[in-house]
């Protein structure tokens, strides 16, 4: 869910793993815990095994599903197997949305089946589906301009996401159409909505994701179609044809279900009440197996805890791993954490989120008070060996965002994301997209940063407290 694009050409060259181990072994004494962490991390890589288990053995982890519960059980046991005795769960009530039958066809002027998937939290179509004329827009402004012409129609939001683009053509602009497009189309009397898949590969993939609802506005069925299919609709409309679409969605929302966040801690030796949180989300969409979103982030977080524990390092402050529930369709895990731990947030000295896939780690984004970036830069310095020492402004993540009003400093593990949106939320989010060595280096980087922040004499200046943002 995190957009972070930086060109591949700017990335520093990375040494082969063997070279790193040799280099660190000879300089560990002079460079302290960070060198030891890097050495241990690269000598005994275990991160890939963790994401492999989540993706291949447990599979998709949609909120409210039995497989999400299986992931929770596995994560607690895995933490304990890794020597983290302080591992536990905290209750979260999550929405349970279930995908059903889904069929979308052009029925006139041609008969063509479209590759489609309901957006998460969409309502179903009425019995027999919905058939209507399609109208196409690229933006909310375009929708407003349609006005009455949207009434009784199926609105196609046809806005491409471009690889490496700025905000206008990036994930943010497209995902706001996914989130609010159905609501705004319904206000104009549309009977259904479709969105061009938000992705950057052209393999006729369909990318799901959450869509919103609003009290007082009737919800209409809303599905994604592949980019190629959106192009077909566009070409027919551009040729002056009246395009009729029939869509059938059998998805449904059931009552909320009790599930859990998973937590594990390495208690600090001097200031155990001061806490560095490292987080990821354990839930995933249902089309793929949640390998890059966010099995990889969970492997990074869990492996970084294992590495610190395996070295017997006990930092000044506490490091707490949080595997959040329900990032994808509700953020209830992040909200529950901030509520349950409200009394502690003033002593949360930093929160880091790993939710940018499995790409090579390049550095850190920081959102903190003045001087925060300098502290992070100093702690990250040893990571120049693996090309992960770059520090820049701008950190955070969906799961940790509910801690923002308390002024908790945020860090983001920056990773190469050139291909992230090729697969994100699609059936192609599978284990083969994870490179074991890149993943292990990301875990090593997380371990160095989490331990460094927890052990440093200084703490990062806090962000200005701010009211929570609507999501
Ligand atoms: Zn994610």
Task: In whole angstroms, give the CA distance from residue 34 to residue 17.
Answer: 16
What is the topology classification, in CATH, of domain 100-250?
A: Glucose Oxidase; domain 1 (3.50.30)
Question: What's the confidence (pLDDT) of residue 307?
Answer: 98
Ligand 1 centroid distance, CA of 15 (Å)? 29
Instruction: State the average pLDDT over residues 347-352.
Output: 98
Q: Is the pLDDT of residue 18 over 50?
A: no
Please give the share of the chain, as a percent, with pLDDT higher than 90.
89
Among the listed residues 125, 150, 148, the one whose alpha carbon sits nearest the alpha carbon of residue 135: 150
User: Which residues, other chains included, contact 239 with Cβ-Cβ below 8 Å and sequence gap of 6+?
Assistant: none
Task: In whole angstroms, give the CA distance from residue 171 to residue 192.
Answer: 23
Task: In whole angstroms, give the CA distance from residue 323 to residue 79.
Answer: 11
Q: Is the peptide bond before 109 cis (omega within 30 degrees of 0)?
A: yes
Q: Is the pLDDT of residue 98 over 50?
A: yes
Express each pLDDT in 378-432 by its tens digit.
Answer: 999 999 999 999 999 998 999 999 999 999 999 999 999 999 999 999 999 999 9
Question: What's the confidence (pLDDT) of residue 430?
Answer: 98
Contact 170, 161 (CB under 8 A): yes
Contact 93, 258 (CB under 8 A): yes
Active-site residue numbers? 327
Question: What's the confidence (pLDDT) of residue 30?
Answer: 54
Task: In whole angstroms, give the CA distance from residue 299 to residue 316.
Answer: 24
Ligand 1 centroid distance, CA of 103 (Å)? 27
Please give the share of the chain, as a percent, with pLDDT higher than 70.
92
Instruction: State the average pLDDT over residues 122-139.
Output: 98
Ligand 1 centroid distance, CA of 294 (Å)? 5
Question: What's the confidence (pLDDT) of residue 468?
Answer: 60
Ligand 1 centroid distance, CA of 236 (Å)? 35
Task: In whole angstroms, give the CA distance from residue 275 to residue 267.
Answer: 9
Ligand 1 centroid distance, CA of 174 (Å)? 16
Ligand 1 centroid distance, CA of 193 (Å)? 24
Instruction: State the average pLDDT over residues 449-465.
Output: 96
Question: What's the confidence (pLDDT) of residue 26?
Answer: 46
Question: What's the confidence (pLDDT) of residue 167?
Answer: 79
Share the mean pLDDT of the chain. Answer: 93
Contact 372, 315 (CB under 8 A): no
Ligand 1 centroid distance, CA of 111 (Å)? 36
Ligand 1 centroid distance, CA of 300 (Å)? 13
Among the listed residues 133, 69, 6, 44, the one whose alpha carbon sits nearest the alpha carbon of residue 387: 6
Angle between helix 33-43 and 296-310 (nearest 10): 120
Ligand 1 centroid distance, CA of 88 (Å)? 22
Instruction: State the average pLDDT over residues 262-285.
Output: 98
Instruction: State the average pLDDT over residues 445-469.
Output: 91
Ligand 1 centroid distance, CA of 283 (Å)? 8
Given CATH 3.20.20.70, say whether it is the number of domain 8-96+255-455. Answer: no
Kindly indicate the confidence band of residue 469, based on its pLDDT and cuts at 50, 70 and 90.
low
Neighbours of 150 (CB within 10 A): 23
Q: Identical fold at 8-96+255-455 and 100-250? A: no
Domain boundaries, the chain: 8-96+255-455, 100-250
Express each pLDDT in 161-216 by its tens digit.
Answer: 998 877 789 999 999 999 999 999 999 999 999 999 999 999 999 999 999 999 99
Express each pLDDT in 355-393 by its tens digit.
Answer: 999 999 999 999 999 999 999 999 999 999 999 999 999
Say if pTM beats, i.e. exceeds, 0.85.
yes
Least confidently predicted of 49-63, 64-78, 82-96, 157-171 = 157-171
Instruction: State the average pLDDT over residues 306-327.
Output: 98
Question: What's the confidence (pLDDT) of residue 27?
Answer: 43
Instruction: State the average pLDDT over residues 434-458.
Output: 98
Q: Is the pLDDT of residue 67 over 80?
A: yes
Question: What's the confidence (pLDDT) of residue 143?
Answer: 98
Task: In whole angstroms, give the CA distance from residue 248 to residue 239.
Answer: 26
Instruction: State the average pLDDT over residues 80-92.
Output: 98
Ligand 1 centroid distance, CA of 191 (Å)? 30
Ligand 1 centroid distance, CA of 21 (Å)? 31
Q: Is the peptide bond before 176 cis (omega within 30 degrees of 0)?
A: no
Question: What's the confidence (pLDDT) of residue 470?
Answer: 52
Kindly indicate the confidence band of residue 8, based on its pLDDT and cuts at 50, 70 and 90.
very low
């Amino acid at each position: 869910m995190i957009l972070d694009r930086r060109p591949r050409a700017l990335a520093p060259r990375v040494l082969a793993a063997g070279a790193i181990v040799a280099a660190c072994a000879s300089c560990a004494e002079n460079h302290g815990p960070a060198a030891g962490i890097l050495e241990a991390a690269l000598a005994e890589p275990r991160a890939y095994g963790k994401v492999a288990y989540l993706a291949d053995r447990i599979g998709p982890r949609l909120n409210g599903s039995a497989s999400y519960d299986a992931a929770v059980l596995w994560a607690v046991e895995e933490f304990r197997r890794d020597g983290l005795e302080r591992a536990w769960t905290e209750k979260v009530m999550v929405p349970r949305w279930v995908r059903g039958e889904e069929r979308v066809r052009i029925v006139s002027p041609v008969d063509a089946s479209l590759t489609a998937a309901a957006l998460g939290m969409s309502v179903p179509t009425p019995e027999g589906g919905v058939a209507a004329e399609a109208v196409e827009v690229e933006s909310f402004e375009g929708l407003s301009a349609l006005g009455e012409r949207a009434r009784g129609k199926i609105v196609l939001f046809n806005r491409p996401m471009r690889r490496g683009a700025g905000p206008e053509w990036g994930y943010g602009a497209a995902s706001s159409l996914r989130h609010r497009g159905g609501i705004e189309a319904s206000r104009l009397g549309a009977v259904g909505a479709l969105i061009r898949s938000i992705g950057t590969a052209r393999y006729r993939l369909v990318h799901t994701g959450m869509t919103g609802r609003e009290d007082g506005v009737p919800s209409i069925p809303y599905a994604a179609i592949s980019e190629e299919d959106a192009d077909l609709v566009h070409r027919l409309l551009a040729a002056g044809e009246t395009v009729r679409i029939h869509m059938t969605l059998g998805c449904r929302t059931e009552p909320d279900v009790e599930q859990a966040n998973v937590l594990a801690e390495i208690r600090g030796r001097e200031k155990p009440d001061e806490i560095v949180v490292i987080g990821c989300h354990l839930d995933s969409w249902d089309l793929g197996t949640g390998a890059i979103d966010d099995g990889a982030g969970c492997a990074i977080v869990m492996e970084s805890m294992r590495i610190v524990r395996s070295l017997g390092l006990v930092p000044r402050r506490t490091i707490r791993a949080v595997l959040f529930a329900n990032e994808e369709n509700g953020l209830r895990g992040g909200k529950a954490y901030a509520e349950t731990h409200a009394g502690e947030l003033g002593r949360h000295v930093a929160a880091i989120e790993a939710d940018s896939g499995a790409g090579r780690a390049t550095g850190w984004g920081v959102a903190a008070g003045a001087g925060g970036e300098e502290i992070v830069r100093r702690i990250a310095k040893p990571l120049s060996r693996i090309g992960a020492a770059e520090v820049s402004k701008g950190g955070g993540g969906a799961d940790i965002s509910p801690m923002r009003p308390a002024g908790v400093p945020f860090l983001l593990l920056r990773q190469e994301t050139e291909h992230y949106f090729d697969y994100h939320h699609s059936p192609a989010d599978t284990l083969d997209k994870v490179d074991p060595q890149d993943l292990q280096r990301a875990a090593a980087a997380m371990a160095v940063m989490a331990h460094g922040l927890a052990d440093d004499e200084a703490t990062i200046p806090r962000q200005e407290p701010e009211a929570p943002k609507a999501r």
